[in-house]
Amino acid sequence: MMDKIRRYIFAWRYRRAVRQAKNLAGLFGMKYYVISLNGKLRVVLKQTIRELIRRKRFRKGVTLDDIEKSALFVTN
């Protein structure tokens, strides 16, 4: 029962994050990613991810392509 509730909550948060990413991409014309960061779903701008990589927020050797492959959703 708890597993179903967790999946439902995750699906709700995922749909909400995707909707937010699409809206922001439509407004600003930039690429947004939905990624899991610190156990939460985050809508992050591509430029922000580049900055996080420069600041060593991700482990050594991680590139933008790696993050794009593991992202849950990527806007066009």
Distance CA 11, CA 15 (A): 6
pTM: 0.86
pLDDT class for 22, splitting at 50, 70, 90?
very high
| Res 76: pLDDT | 87
- Parse the chain into domains and list their residue ranges: 2-74
The yes-or-no verdict on residue 37 having pLDDT over 90 is no
Distance CA 39, CA 70 (A): 14
pLDDT in tens, 43-75: 999 999 999 999 998 999 999 999 999 999 999
| Res 14: pLDDT | 98
